[in-house]
Amino acid sequence: MKRVAVCAAITPGYFVFGNNDQGRADDIRSAITNFRNSVCLEWAGELELAGKRIAITHGHSDKDVRRLLN
């Protein structure tokens, strides 16, 4: 979690949880939200950049991948 917080402080961006984050999601979410321009998309999410839809997921959840592909 410490590395995620450092990355969020240095390089604002979008973050998703991974397969090893079960049980730590609340701590990671709190760490990321402390930094301006850093967004936690939970387990999967999407955003629009330059008119293009971008889906972000760790990829370990087939359900999230299928949902984002539609």
SS3 state at 57: strand
pLDDT grade, residue 51 (50/70/90)? very high
CA 42 – CA 17 distance, rounded (Å): 6
pLDDT > 70? residue 66? yes
pLDDT > 70? residue 8? no
